[in-house]
């Protein structure tokens, strides 16, 4: 019997709906396998601003620090997006949490599901068999550098910095993952222009000999943005810095045919956070049309993190079963009428 405390941050928009389904699936796993999972719901994002004035209340941070894992829905609200002068933003909650928990590696698997090839904007023969694992650095770079305005507010700046140690820790993780996969790491950078990219390249180069079975290659980010679409099957593990990883991983998501399928794990030395890569999708809120699979697969990565391999595979099999049976939300099949909850229920019962 395993006993684990999971903090749930439903967040904004469709976050609460998709989180409910992932929790339902985790409860099904715990009852089938006899574990004890407790779920502690906390506020983060726009809902936390509305309730407390802060996007990351102290109580939330404390709970996450003491948790065995954090499951996040999504955060963000359009009312903050088009006001460039807003002082408090939902995103600060997420960025603050990543930094506070030291979640320096964001890991995003990109898979082309055979059942969904028709949904991708890419031709099936280009993407069939794609299996990419993206390692995005998550607590450094331009996201967390000094930023500000000149006194007259007419110029703005954002500083990007990286230290060798920040690169080493995630690079080792990427190489280790490649050792268990197809033995290739592609570093995405802009070393022909940026000094931070040159530091990335030289640092990653320096440890490559420790992983003799892994081939290392490099792509400039502009070229990578093309190659991911032109020939995604060439990639195994992609390693990159924070800003490039944000762009490249969302771009790569088109391969899967729906953002609603893609999970992620953000890990550090201790705690770990699991979240779908989609956003809060406010237009869909409360309509029962949000796809819960990305969050459910994030819950499977959470089980991996607990070393519950059988349990995690069981969740992934249940998701495959739902795809096979066509039990999916309308963006994947507009003619069926399954709701978020029905899809979640189906997967939970199949566990």
Ligand X SMILES: CC(C)[C@H](C(=O)O)[C@@H](O)C(=O)O
Q: How far is CA 172 from the centre of its chain?
A: 19
Nearer to ligand X, 6 or 224 (CB): 224
Sole window of 49-57, 88-96, 151-159, 319-327 interacting with ligand X (rule: CB under 6 A): 88-96
Q: Which of 150, 155, 192, 213 binds ligand X (CB under 6 A)?
A: 192
The one catalytic residue in 80, 104, 113, 143 is 143
The one catalytic residue in 4, 77, 162, 190 is 190
313 binds its own copies (CB under 8 A): no
- CA atoms of 264 and 134, how far apart (whole Å): 10
CB of 246 to ligand X, least distance (A): 4
> Which letter, b or e, does each residue of 221-254 get, where b requires 16 or more Cβ atoms within 10 Å of its Cβ?
beebbebbbeebeebbbbbbbbbbbbebbeebbb
**Residue 24 marked ligand-binding:** no
246 binds ligand X (CB under 6 A): yes
149 binds its own copies (CB under 8 A): yes
Show Cβ contacts of residue 100 under 8 Å, excluding neighbours closer than 6 positions.
56, 61, 64, 65
- CA atoms of 207 and 212, how far apart (whole Å): 10
* Binding letters toward its own copies, positions 95-114, x by CB under 8 A: x-------------------
142 binds its own copies (CB under 8 A): yes
DSSP 8-state assignment for residue 292? -
**Residue 304 marked ligand-binding:** no
Q: Is 184 a catalytic residue?
A: no
Task: Look at residue 351 and give its three-state secondary structure.
Answer: coil
Q: Is 246 a catalytic residue?
A: yes
- CA atoms of 335 and 329, how far apart (whole Å): 10
Please report the sign of the dihedral spanned by the C-alpha atoms of residue 243, residue 50, residue 299, residue 114: negative
Q: Is 143 a catalytic residue?
A: yes
Q: Which of 195, 202, 222, 269 binds ligand X (CB under 6 A)?
A: 222
Q: What would the DSSP string read from start to end of 175-190?
A: HHHHHTTTSEEEEEE-
Beta pairing partners, 70: 7, 273
Q: Binding partner of residue 349 among its own copies, ligand X, none, CB under 5 to 8 Å per kind?
A: none
- CA atoms of 4 and 35, how far apart (whole Å): 8
87 binds its own copies (CB under 8 A): no
Give Cα separations from 116 to 112, 122, 156, 300, 321 (angstroms).
Answer: 7, 11, 43, 20, 13
251 binds ligand X (CB under 6 A): no
**Residue 153 marked ligand-binding:** no
Nearer to ligand X, 124 or 156 (CB): 156
157 binds its own copies (CB under 8 A): yes
Q: Is 81 a catalytic residue?
A: no
- Residue numbering of the annotated binding site for Mg(2+): 222, 246, 250
State the catalytic residues.
Answer: 143, 190, 222, 246, 250
> Residues interacting with its own copies, by CB under 8 A?
76, 80-82, 84-85, 89, 91, 95, 121-123, 126, 142-143, 145, 147-149, 154-165, 190-196, 198-199, 201-202, 205, 218, 221-223, 225-226, 229-231, 243-244, 246-251, 253-254, 259, 279
């Amino acid at each position: 019997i395993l006993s684990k405390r999971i903090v749930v941050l439903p967040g904004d928009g469709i976050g609460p709906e998709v989180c409910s389904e992932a929790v339902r699936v985790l409860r099904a796993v715990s009852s089938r396998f006899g574990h004890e999972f407790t779920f502690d719901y906390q506020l983060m994002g726009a809902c936390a601003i509305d309730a407390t004035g802060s996007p990351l209340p102290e109580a939330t941070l404390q709970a996450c620090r003491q948790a065995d894992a954090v499951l996040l829905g999504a955060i963000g609200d359009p009312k903050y997006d088009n006001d460039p002068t807003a002082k408090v933003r939902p995103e600060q909650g997420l960025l603050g949490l990543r930094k506070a928990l030291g979640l320096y590696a964001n890991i995003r698997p990109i898979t082309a599901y055979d059942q969904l090839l028709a949904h991708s904007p890419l031709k099936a023969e280009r993407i069939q068999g794609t299996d990419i694992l993206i390692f995005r650095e998550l607590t450094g770079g331009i996201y967390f550098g000094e930023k500000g305005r000149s006194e007259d507010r007419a110029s703005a700046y954002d500083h990007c910095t990286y230290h060798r140690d920040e690169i080493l820790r995630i690079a080792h993780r990427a190489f280790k993952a490649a050792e268990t996969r197809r033995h290739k790491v592609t570093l995405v950078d802009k070393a022909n222009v940026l000094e931070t990219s040159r530091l990335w390249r030289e640092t990653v180069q320096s440890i490559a000999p420790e992983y003799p079975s892994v081939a290392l290659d490099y792509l400039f980010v502009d070229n990578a943005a093309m190659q991911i679409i032109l020939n995604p099957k060439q990639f195994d593990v992609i390693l990159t810095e924070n800003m490039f990883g944000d762009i490249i991983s969302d771009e790569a998501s088109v391969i899967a045919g729906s953002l609603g399928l893609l999970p992620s794990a953000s890990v550090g030395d201790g705690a770990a956070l699991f979240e779908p890569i989609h956003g809060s999708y406010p237009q869909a809120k409360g309509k029962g049309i949000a796809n819960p699979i990305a969050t459910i697969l994030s819950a499977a990565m959470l089980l991996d993190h607990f070393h519950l391999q059988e349990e995690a595979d069981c969740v992934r099999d249940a998701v495959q079963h739902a795809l096979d049976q066509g039990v999916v939300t309308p963006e994947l099949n507009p003619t069926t009428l399954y709701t978020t909850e029905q899809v979640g229920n189906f997967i939970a019962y199949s566990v």
